[in-house]
Structure 1
Amino acid sequence: GRGKGPKDLNFTTFKEKEQGKRKNTLLLLVVVKCFSFFLVLFPFSLNVVKFKSFGPFPLPWKSPIMGYETESIYKSLRSTLDELGYHQALSFDSLYLVKALVADLIQTTQSLKHYKELSQKTLSKCNELEVGLQPYKEDNARLVQECNRLHKKLIAQKDNHEDAQKELKFKLRQSESEKESLEFNTGELTARLADVEKECLKKNQRIHELQNVILKRHPHRNLTSSKSTWGGKGDSAVTFESKLKASTSLDSTVHLLKQADSNTKALRGEVKELQQRLDNKEYVIDNLQTKLNTRNTEITRLTSLLEGGRPVAAVIQDHTGDTVTHPTCIQSQMFCTCNDKPAAAQAQGCRFTCLEQRNSQLEKKLKECLRRQHDAMQHALRLSDKNKMLEVRLKSVEQSKDSEKASKDMTELQNKISSLTKLIEDLRKENQNQQNQGRYTKTSLTTSKSERESVQLREKVEDYKILEKDLMSEIDRLERENTLQKTYITELEYKLLQCLNSKEDLERAVKVKDALRRDSKEQEVGGGGGTVTSTTCDTEHRFEGLIKERDHYQKEYAFIVDKLTAIPLRTHTVSRELPLNNLSNLILERDEYQRQSESLQHVSDNRSDTVHCELKRRLSDQGQEISHLKHKYKLLEQEYADMSSLKTKYKFLEEEYRREKAGFTSSRQEPFTRDEETDMSARRRGGSPNIGTGVDLDTYLNLQEERDRLYASNVKLQEEKAELLSRLKRVQIDACSMNEDRIRSLESERCHLISKQTELNSRLGELEEENRGLKRKLYVHENELSEERNSLNSIRRVQEQTDQALLSFRKTHDNLESQIRELKDQNCRLDAEKDSLVTQVESLREDNARMRSCMMSLDGQKDSILMTLDSKIDLISRLERDMCSKDSKIEQLEDRIAKFKTTVDETLNLNKRTERELKLANSEVERLKVELNN
């Protein structure tokens, strides 16, 4: 026990050894007494047998066989027996046996005295040790009390530590739930941002459509400015068309996936809330269970201890060890009777009886204390059983509470979902408000850049997928256009050759045109020169614009490649298959919810490294290919536009050439008509006179002079025109060489595109297979979602059942609280009784100490009394032996008397027979006398 120290254990072992020694001495005394008694009786039995065999009244001293040695041995042995108090008769046959027995008896008595002295010494030492152990016992009690107090403090500290730890865990769970709710809100906001960006794209598409309409209405405007504006925004008409098609085709699927994501997220939030509540209840139950366990351990520990820290068994052992009588007393009680005791022995017996009565009273009190202790233990066990029942009921009621709260939360969440759907519909209608909110959220959600980039990359990947399909169709279309362009280029070359052949005709036409325009003003001549120079300037400007557009598209391609490479790997994986991976991630989180986060991160990193690298490489390759194809397609469009512009210019020049040719022929036939003269005079003078109305020679000469001037000016203009034509020819030759180079590059690119088309077709097949696998996974996930919904319905039913159990539990809880109060009152009463018992035990201890002191004095008296009793016992044994010898003699005499009686009876019978015979004889004598007398 906890109350026993090492000193108590040593003391108990020493006591046990002393008790064993006492028992051994008692056994030795009993054996010796029985043996001596047997020795005393044995010779008398032998003598009796001899007396019966030898005849009546044989005496031992009348034996004829008796020497000198035997007589001396007999005399010494007889004297020793008389000294010892054995006065019985002694035969010669048993002489040596009695001698040996007497020697053994003397030796045993000496050993008995020796052992008595040893026992007295050991008892004195034991008493001294008990007196010295008393302060150690008090120290042990004090130390046990301190240990109990420290144990209580330690238990309280443990409880406080566990409470603080559990509170921190609870706060951590709350923060995690808040974090998840915030992540859910950020996901919703990112989805809104994606919708806003799509609407912005639609509006940009609308703006570009309006720009195209404006350009169609004004075809002769500067094309480079419009192209530069489109290039500045970084999107062409084809990309916007593809994006619009993608948005229209994926609206339905994205909407469905968003609904599924929102449903799964809502269910996940509900499950996590329910899990948090269950964890809270389990935390409360665990806390109560630990408190109950600590209370039970304290009850068991305190019941195993008595006042002063001593265990019950040790106290009982102490009392029983003190009240056990001395073994000599037991021996005296065995061999003595009340009638033969003297007065001193009777007084000593009265004292012993008083002590035994006092000891019995103390034992009764101890038994009552133990009985009360046993009752308290039974009561504590009953309380523990009741507590267990209450815990079971508490668990059931808490489950019912949780189910009821979960059903309420489900209804609230459903209402929230319906309200959120309405809000989403309203927000879709308000586009401008969403744009403002999008700007605000872009500025506020700086932390969610990675998510936004992932959304953008997802959209880009979807756009790239759609662009692949569009590019494949465009490649086919470009091949067709390429063939047409080749035929068109051949036609243009043929026409250019015709133009070179008809150079002389053009020079002539120019000369005629100059001759005709001599009559026009100098301003118009300057204007005509400006138009010719403007054509060359326009071509140069167009080439410069094309070069600028090429540089711009190259820069845009480099920017897109840098942006794609700058994005981390996870965004690529998420953007690739985001809507389907959301469902798979939810299911994985449901299955692997209780695993450790570190192992999951390690495994996911090891798995995703290779996958991320492959996906990054694929995305970069696809992005490069798509951007390369896009760039080539834009170059082809530019070249096609240049070719169309050249075609229009060529047609315009042909028409001008035809007009000039027709005008030149008419001017050669009628160089000076009246209409022209009137026009010339009207232009010079501002009037409209007619030549046929009386014109002088002076006027006619003046007109001729003017005609000559105009002819000279026309010659100059023709020379300038020839120079301009030579320049134009050079420009056209350079343009043709550039076009040929471009055509060759386009043919090589076409071959390259055809080779890549096969690769893209194979990749598209692989992507279609992946799409089918993902559709299968989506079907499996939908089935799992339906199963989860069924499980949620079952949870609601359980919640309804637990609600009913909650009401019953509350009633029982109130009853139990009242019972607990009553039990606390009873505990207070038991504590008061315990205090009273403590005082009683202290008084009993004091009495016990007094009794021990009395016992010490009584032990000394007892030893002296035992010595006197031993001497008296020896006398009594001698008397008993004498009585036994006398009884044997009396029996012999009685046997002899019985023999004499038999002989007397026989003689009497003979006398009677003789008397009868005498009577018969007398009667016969008288009869004979009578006969004689007759």
Structure 2
Amino acid sequence: MCTSDSIFKNLRQKLDVMGYNQTLPLAAVPIVGAVFEDLFFCVKAFINIIVLKEKSSWELGAEPYKCDNSRLLTECNQLHLQLIRQKEDSEEQINELHKKIRDLETDKSHLHKQCQQLQNQLGSIQSKTNIGVVKSGSRVEKGKKPFITAVRSGDMFSSTVNLLQDHNIDLRCTKCNAGFYRRHDDATQTKSIEKDADKWENAKLELMENIKFYRNKIEAREREISRLNELLSGGRAPNILARECCYKNIGSLNEDIDLLQREKLESLARIRECQHQMHEAMRRALNLEKFNRELQKRLDELKDAALSVETQANNEITQKEMEIEQLKQQLQRLLNKIKVQNEKCKENQKDEKLQKSNHSKEVQVSVQMEKHRFNEKLNELTQKESELRTENDRLVKKLTKLKNKLQASHKDLQLRHTQHLDEDKIRLKSERDFFQKEYLRVLNKLGSESEIDFLQSQIKSKDEELRVLRSEMCLKQSQALVPCVKGNTDFDNLPTSLPSSARSGASTGNSDCVQAVILRAERERDCARNDLERVRCERDTLREKMLSMTKMHDEQIQKVQCRNEELNRKLHQAERENHDLISAHKPSEIQIVLLKEEMDTYKQQNNKLREENSKLQSTYNSLKLLHEQTERSLSDSQNKLTLSESQLESAKARLNAVDSNRESSQQEAIQLRTEVAALKQTYVALEREKDKILTQLDLKTEKAYQLEYELKASKEKRNHLEKQVHDFEQQLSKLTTQTHERDSELNENSTESKSLREQIAALKISREQAIMENARLMNNLAESQAEITTLKKLLKDSEGEIMRLKQQLRQYVQEIKKAEDLLMHKEKEREEMLEHYRSLSHDAVMLEGSNQSLENEAAECRRQLNELESENHVLKKELCSRNSLITELEDKLTSQQVQNTCLKQKLEESLDEQRLLETDLTARKELCRKLDVEKDKLNAELNELNDVRKNLEAENEKLRLEIERTEKNKRISSETLEELLSKTRHDLEEQIKMDSKLSQELVRLKQTNEELLIELDVERQKRQQHETLMHEYRIQNQELRHTLTDDRFHQARSREQSPRFHTKTL
């Protein structure tokens, strides 16, 4: 009775609260209670409907704000991208300006060094000329001896002395000139080597600046990515953004991600290439340093040898001068004896007058013949001088033409360089825009990963609900027995209970529904647990791999940093040494200007010499007794010409040696190109492996999407699938548009490739023409330089000869005056001349003996010269042996360099593996993120199951109340219970029908989804085909560029070789 009273009191209180004050009979208590509970549930459902309507209205009102927010975000991102572009453009301009400044500084240093060299050369030339003038004056003073009465005897002895002195001077000059030419060739070699070192240093600095530029670019991109990630993490949840976003474009984002990864790998490859070029530049700089040291050693050795030879020659010359002085003393003694004999011969003078007159006539005829011959030789020399002047003028004109052509070629090169830079800028801008689009697509794609977290949260909630349901089932079974006993004891006076069929139907219906729900929940739970365990295992393995990889990466980074520090230190040392080398050289343009000035001075000197020659020709008519000395001077000049021809042959031999060195350098360049081709092949293989990994990642992502679709609930699946169908339709439309765009781009690329090929053909023709012109200009320059050197030598020789002739003329004038005095006293001394004639015969015999002694001395000098030549041959053999040792050392160095390159390649392979592992780690991190999103989604589903569980608990409470009411009022509420049971059965049947319809709709949506996925796969395959075509076209373009550069190099080499043979033939 207590329970029925409590139920009645509760109903009464609720009715009073609601305002129903009517009387309540006991028989109407269960009906009124049921009606009241129905009213309560209706009110609750109505409140929920109102809340949902308000929520939908709020969402509709918030949608425009969401769209505005997304639009503002896109504008903000565009502004950031514009800022990044402007920064990159400014950095590119700064790099270009630095490059120009560096080139100008190198040119300035070269010019300054060449100015210093030319100043030093001028000082040395002036000092040499002053020394030569002083020596010639001293020799003239030595040559002046006391005049003797006999004219012929004095002339003969002075001519012999002058010839010996001239021979000694020629010996000195030839040796000095040989040393000069050797030093000059060595200097030219060092200049060319230092210019190459400067070029490699400039290339190295350019590569360093490019690496810094690309690193800054990558850092800016990473900052932009981190900024956008912070925007995502700082705002709303990514799953909500993915549901509410109005600008979803999943397909384009995937494509953009792939392109970004490819571009990243390409940039890494470029960085590797730049590093490889830096290593090559370092290696070449070290080789150049070694070569410079070897050249310095050779120069020192040659200097020592030249000094030793010069000292020996000077010693020999001093000995010869001492011997000549002794001979002069002997001649003076003989002259004194002749004076004594002249006094004796005065008596026999009258008899010999007739004989002497006849002899004088014969001498005059011979002198006239010699004069005529000497005049012919002078005419020939004047003709040669005129020819040399015409050739000099022609060479000056050629030099001016060559300068004009060089300036025009420099301008053309600058224009081409600017065009290439503009093309590179346009290409980089297009790539940057493409990367930005890819990045936005990736950000939009991240919204789908938040659904995984939601599913994981639902799985957890479902597990908890299953556990609670099982506990409640146990409680229900225990409680179902207790009320039955109470009903039998308390309600004996009431009518009989319900029939057994009704009770069994009610209990079986409720138990079947609950068991079906439990079984479905258990299945979903087991599936989710299996997925979670699999994901956890993968996560653990990935974490372990991440730890090991991070450790390895840190160690490798430390090693690489140490190596980079060592390399930087070596680079600084090399730069310092290169700057020191650069400071020792000077440009060639100032040298050309100075040479022009020297040419002008030489022209003025030639004019002066012409005037003096005209004066000398007037005096030569009066000089009859001096033709023998002029003939001897001409023979000396011929000897000098032969020496100059031998020097020219030696210079040609050195030029051939330089050409052989050039061929060896070209062979080294070909080897380097083969190494570059091998590196390119490795790069292509790495790109193929990258494509394979990307395909594997696509397969994994497709599997992850399949798991996401299987984990979703029925109602949410339907809504989500409808949205996906709509999105997929949009994506298909976009993909079709993209395919059309790609086709158009392919057509454009094909047309561009055709135009590039045409341009390449035109460039080849122009390049060949330019090579021909350059070869011709180089030949002209070489000819002009050789002619200039010969002219300088001839001018120096002519100056020396003119000074000597002036001195001789002075002596001749003095002797002529003395001869005139003697002719005044000739009649008085006829008798003395007869005696003198007799003495002269004796003197002639003595002179023949002295000539024989001088010839013996000349033979001894020749023998000494032969000994010196044999010593030179020995020294040359030693030089050849040292050169062979140097070649062996260079071979060893090349082998070590090959080993170093192999080690570097292994290092690069290890770095590539590390990068591949890093890419795998990033992919697995993305998978972990996706799984976390799935987990969140499952948690959300579990929360929904909790709500269902709460609803079930409320229903269980209702059932308990109904069971209690039925037990108390079996007779009164039997009909009402049957009606309620029929209604519930009917509702259950309707729900089952609705569930079957929903399942059919789900099947249909799955089929449509599968069809759309198939279409997506087809479109992806098409896209991959287009990408492969694009990649092939790029490779073809690169190959064409490489072939173009190779053709240019081979043609330039052939053009460089062709003028070489031409010069040899000349």
Q: Name the structure, 1 or 2, with higher relative contact order (CA <8 Å, separation 6+).
A: 2
User: Same fold, TM exceeding 0.5?
Assistant: no
| TM-score using structure 1 length | 0.25
